[in-house]
Amino acid sequence: MSIQNFFLSLLLFVSFGLLGEFIYEFSDTTKEKRFYNLISEVRCPKCTSGSIASSDAPVSRDLKDRIYQLIREGKSDQEIKSYVSDRFGAFSDYSPPKEGVHALLWFAPSVFLWLLLLIFFMRRRF
Amino acid sequence: MFLWIVFLTLWSLLFVNFLKADHPLRKNTVLILGFIILGFMVFLLATSNPFERIFPFGALEGADINPVLQDPALVIHPPMLYLGYVGFVISFSFVTAYLVHGDFSIPWERDIRNWSLVAWIFLTAGITLGSWWAYYELGWGGYWFWDPVENVALMPWLAATAFMHSLFASSKSQILKTWTLFLGIMIFALSLFGAFIVRSGIIDSVHSFANDPQRGIYLLTFSGFMTMFSLAVLVYRMPSLNSSKPIVTGSKESFISMNNILMITSIFSIFLGVTYPLIVDALSGEKISIGPPYYNAIFSPIILIASIFIMLSVDALWQRGMRAINVLTAIAPPLLMSAAILYAIWAEFHIFSVITFVGILSGLLIMTSYLFQITTSFVLGKYINKGSAMSHIGLGLLFFSVSMNSMLSYDKNINLSLGQSQFIDSSITKFSFNSLDRNQASNHEVIAARVVIEQDNKILYLQPEKRKYLTRGQITSEAAIHASPIKDTYLTIGDQLEDGSWTFVLQVNYLIKWIWLSAILMATGIMMTIFKRQTS
Amino acid sequence: MNIARFFLILLPLVVIVFYGKVLFSVADDDLNQFESKPLPEFFLLNLEGNPVDVSNLAGIKLLNVWASWCITCLVEHPYLSELSSKGFDVIGLNYKDSSDKAQNWLNKYGNPYQFSIYDPRGDLAFDLGVTGAPETFLVVNSQVIEHIQGELTKKKWETIFLPRILAAQGDLK
Structural domains of chain B sorted by starting position, each given as residue range(s) with its CATH number in brackets: 1-135+148-245 (1.20.120), 251-408 (no CATH), 410-514 (no CATH)
| A89–C129 C-beta distance less than 8 A | yes
> Is pLDDT at B97 greater than 70 in this prediction?
yes
> Is pLDDT at A92 greater than 60 in this prediction?
yes
pLDDT classification of A123: cutoffs 50, 70, 90: confident
Predicted local distance difference test score (pLDDT) of residue B278? 87
User: CB-CB: which of C5, C20, C23 is closest to B235?
Assistant: C5
CB neighbourhood size of C103 (10 A): 17
| C8/C57 same-domain check | no
| C43/C100 same-domain check | yes
Q: How many domains does chain C have?
A: 2
Predicted local distance difference test score (pLDDT) of residue A16? 46
For the segment B138-145, the average pLDDT, to the nearest whole number, is 90
> Is pLDDT at C27 greater than 70 in this prediction?
no
| C120/C84 same-domain check | yes
| C9/C87 same-domain check | no
| A86–C131 C-beta distance less than 8 A | no
DSSP for B95-128?
A: HHHHHHH--TTS-HHHHHHHHHHHHHHHHHHHHH
Contacts of B288 in chain A (CB under 8 A): 90-91, 93, 96-97, 102
The phi and psi torsions of B414 (rounded to 5 degrees) equal -125, 150
Q: How many CB pairs under 8 A join B and C?
A: 53
- 3-state SS of chain A is CCHHHHHHHHHHHHHHHHECEECCCCCCHHHHHHHHHHHHHEECCCCCCCEHHHCCCHHHHHHHHHHHHHHHCCCCHHHHHHHHHHHHCHHHECCCCCCHHHHHHHHHHHHHHHHHHHHHHHHCCC
pLDDT classification of C145: cutoffs 50, 70, 90: very high
What whole-number distance in Å separates Cα of residue B472 and Cα of residue B67? 9
Paired with B472 in beta bridges are: none
Query: What average pLDDT does chain B have?
Result: 90
| C14/C90 same-domain check | no
Percent of residues, chain C, with pLDDT higher than 70? 94
CATH value at residue C93: 3.40.30.10
Interface check for C41 against chain A (CB to CB < 8 A): the answer is no
Domain that holds residue C53: 31-172
Interface check for C36 against chain B (CB to CB < 8 A): the answer is no
| C33–B286 C-beta distance less than 8 A | yes
Predicted local distance difference test score (pLDDT) of residue A17? 43
For the segment B36-58, the average pLDDT, to the nearest whole number, is 85
| C44/C78 same-domain check | yes
For the segment B264-275, the average pLDDT, to the nearest whole number, is 96
For the segment B61-76, the average pLDDT, to the nearest whole number, is 77
> Is pLDDT at A9 greater than 60 in this prediction?
no
Partner chains of C (3+ C-beta pairs under 8 Å): A, B
| C148/C104 same-domain check | yes
Question: Could you give the C-alpha distances from B269 to A9, B266, B333, B387, in angstroms and in order?
Answer: 62, 5, 33, 29
Contact, B255 vs B184, CB < 8 A? Answer: no
> Is pLDDT at C121 greater than 60 in this prediction?
yes
User: CB-CB: which of C4, C16, C24 is closest to B224?
Assistant: C16
| C79/C106 same-domain check | yes
Predicted local distance difference test score (pLDDT) of residue B73? 76
What whole-number distance in Å separates Cα of residue B351 and Cα of residue B345? 9
Contacts of B302 in chain A (CB under 8 A): 109
Predicted local distance difference test score (pLDDT) of residue C31? 52
Contacts of B255 in chain A (CB under 8 A): none
| B503–A50 C-beta distance less than 8 A | no
What whole-number distance in Å separates Cα of residue B133 and Cα of residue B139? 10
> Is pLDDT at B64 greater than 90 in this prediction?
no
Predicted local distance difference test score (pLDDT) of residue B65? 76
Interface check for B200 against chain C (CB to CB < 8 A): the answer is yes
| C65/C122 same-domain check | yes
Question: What would the pLDDT profile of B154-213 be if each residue is shown by its tens digit?
Answer: 999 999 999 999 998 888 877 788 889 999 999 999 999 988 887 777 776 545 555 567
pLDDT classification of A5: cutoffs 50, 70, 90: low
User: CB-CB: which of C4, C37, C131 is closest to A59?
Assistant: C131
Contacts of B494 in chain A (CB under 8 A): 56
| C8–B235 C-beta distance less than 8 A | yes
